[in-house]
Structure 1
Amino acid sequence: MSEVVETLVRVVGVLAAFLVLPLLVGQTEHKVMAHMQGRLGPMYAGGFHGWAQLVADGVKFLQKEDITPAAADGKVFRLAPAIALVPYLVAMVAIPLAPGVVGADLDAGLLFVLAVSAVGVLGTLMAGWSSANKYALLGGLRTAAQLLSYELPIVLAASSVAMAAGTLSLTGIGEAWQPWWLIWQLPALVCFVVGGVAEITRPPFDMPVADSEIVFGPYTEYTGLRFAFFLLSEYAGIVVLSALTAVLFLGAWQGPFSDQLGWLWTLLKTGVVAVLVIWIRVAWPRLREDQLQLLAWKVLVPLALLQLAITSVVVVAMG
């Protein structure tokens, strides 16, 4: 019976995190961008500093008419938002907040999270292909190109950390982390964060949804709750990217009083990375499509391979 209760608690905890953290990231983005750009941002919904703005947006989306274009592939069109959102929920199951504070402590947790989170991008590709809209199709093709280009540096950078830790378990990597890894694995950290931002099509890598070029790309024909799912999947992607970065490169729960407050350290580090992702959106202009590919293949991939080679030499020398 205790195992059933423990499993239920873990499921409820993961669901609560999935429902709350992306909304917090969204609200933080509103406020951080507003302050960086010298404006107020949402201030009225809910009273204090517009804390309920995202709730109001959700209610607005619920009230909007749900439209499926006549020429669209109906089944794929309706399924795409779920494909974009659900994988991030599944990925959160394997990301630990502290030893023992995790939905499922998998021996190959790193591979599981990378594989599952990559599936979420396919939802955007499905949306672009099924919408029967030339702008949506172009956005979907751009999404596919970004996935192919940036998945490689992400995997190579994560492999460097796994090799240094000697395990694919995210809990094991967090426990093996040392402060000097911040210097040693810094190139891998840069490759991982930049590649992750590109994979979830965040600015300056938002060419698939570039409104000044292709309306809103794969999401052009979406309305109501399905459109809201795509927006929520973007914030959920930021949470997964930030939490995984915290575990792999920032020591996750390691810090003062980590025995009692380890989970808090993980959340704080996740929040810092999320704010960094928001700052990148505000500070950098959108790249051209050719610049996107050049950055991946001529900068990030060689840098990640170099980091992997250095890690191999150090591990062999220390072993």
Structure 2
Amino acid sequence: MIRALSITRSIHDWLYSSMSENMAYFIEMVLIAIVYLAIFAVAGLFLVLIERRVAAWFQLRIGPNRVGFQGLLQTMADALKLLSKELTGTEKADKFLYNLAPYFVIITALMALAVIPFTQDFQAFDINIGILFLIAISSIGVIGILLGGWSSNNKFALIGAMRSGVQTISYELSIGLSLLTMILITGSLQLSEIVEVQKSGWLIVQGHIPAIIAFMIYMIAGTAETNRAPFDMAEAESELGAGFHTEYSGMKFAYFFLAEFINMFIIAAIATTVFFGAWLSPFGITESIPILGVFWFLAKAMVLVFLMMWFRWTFPRLRVDQLLTLEWKYLLPLNLMNIVIMALIVWLNLTIQF
């Protein structure tokens, strides 16, 4: 379902009154795609700038401070540089798959972004299997990484791609189980309904200790899912160069690079929606002032993004065996026990109410 503000409702009415229904629907989809592409580009550049600022802060450096006021246009200059770079590749690469791989990564990130509820009126598609859709889309994204590493005909890229595949498949279990723990409270996979349940209190509060444990596991697994330090074995510079995108340059490299930051934002946005009430403010004023909903959503999401950046510049990189041991011997059993505890809490509350 496409939700619209008053201005978008006016555009909707004008389109359907001026042309055929099919053509109006097609133009609406194109406009929505353009809006989300713009959000994707701006958010990616902004997050790269924030990452560089946070890195400088942790390392007692100044960071970007030359291009634009306080370096605000530095990432824009970097993007223009990547646009102007030559698209190179290896002679023995599988050309079709080599060129296809970056689009797998970028399209899956865009599809996941489309179901995120920024406010009650700013959500492209509110489907009744929202959480399941997000988990499924995140599983498809790793195909682009595997294709890019394999088709490059480079042993370092292949090793990075295989590491990423193993890591993603492993930590998807913890992400899915931690979200399932919270779904037991809401009884719905639809993101808008999950937010509605939280009008009486954020789920991280309603769910007591199991919800806090689920949130901690989700953030650890989400950081690993995006191949960010200390779980960046797929891109270990000291071992693999750039990892799975070693042979990419120009905008194809930029697609992989931006997708990592957008995926980091998506992980934070899902946590904001499921654990912290999405656009709902702690003061109950979002309903009367809708624009504040965007502010609260982005504020919560950026705090979680900062937390993930904090991980990167604080902890050393794990070895592959340590990375897999953390998931299969610790996070997965803890998640399973946590789901049982949450199910008992929900069942006891329902029994008492009955």
Query: What TM-score range do you get, normalising by the shorter chain?
Result: over 0.9
Matches within 5 A, 1:269-288: 269-288=300-319
Distance 1:276 1:192 in 2: 13
1:156 matched residue in structure 2: 177
Q: Aligned AA for 1:40?
A: I
Secondary structure of 2:313's partner?
helix
Please tell me whether residue 53 in structure 1 is matched to residue 74 in structure 2: yes
1:258 matched residue in structure 2: 286
2:330 matched residue in structure 1: 299
Please tell me whether residue 20 in structure 1 is matched to residue 45 in structure 2: no
- Point out the more displaced range, 283-292 or 8-17: 8-17
Distance 2:46 2:215 in 1: 24
Please identify the structure whose Cα radius of gyration is greater: 2
- Point out the more displaced range, 112-121 or 236-245: 112-121
Q: CA RMSD in A?
A: 1.6
TM-score of the two chains, using structure 2 as the length reference: 0.86
Distance 1:19 1:67 in 2: 23
Distance 2:137 2:347 in 1: 31
2:197 matched residue in structure 1: 176
| Aligned-residue offset at 1:148 | 1.7
After superposition, give the CA deviation of every residue in 1:293-313 in whole Å (9 maximum; x if it has no partner): 011011111121122111111
Distance 2:302 2:189 in 1: 24
After superposition, give the CA deviation of every residue in 1:190-212 in whole Å (9 maximum; x if it has no partner): 11111111111000000011010
1:190 matched residue in structure 2: 216
Number of residue-to-residue matches in the alignment: 318
Distance 1:122 1:8 in 2: 26
Q: Show structure 1 runs of 5+ residues with no match.
A: none
Distance 1:121 1:276 in 2: 23
TM-score of the two chains, using structure 1 as the length reference: 0.95
Q: Aligned AA for 1:19?
A: A
- Work out the percentage of aligned pairs sharing the same amino acid: 36
| Aligned-residue offset at 1:11 | 4.0
| Aligned-residue offset at 1:10 | 4.4
Secondary structure of 1:317's partner?
helix
Residue 142 to residue 38, structure 1, CA distance change in 2 (3 Å): same
8 Å CA contact 2:182, 2:207 repeated in 1: no
Matches within 5 A, 1:99-248: 99-177=120-198, 178-179=201-202, 180-181=205-206, 183-184=208-209, 185-248=211-274
Distance 1:224 1:18 in 2: 18
Q: Show structure 2 runs of 5+ residues with no match.
A: 1-11, 17-23
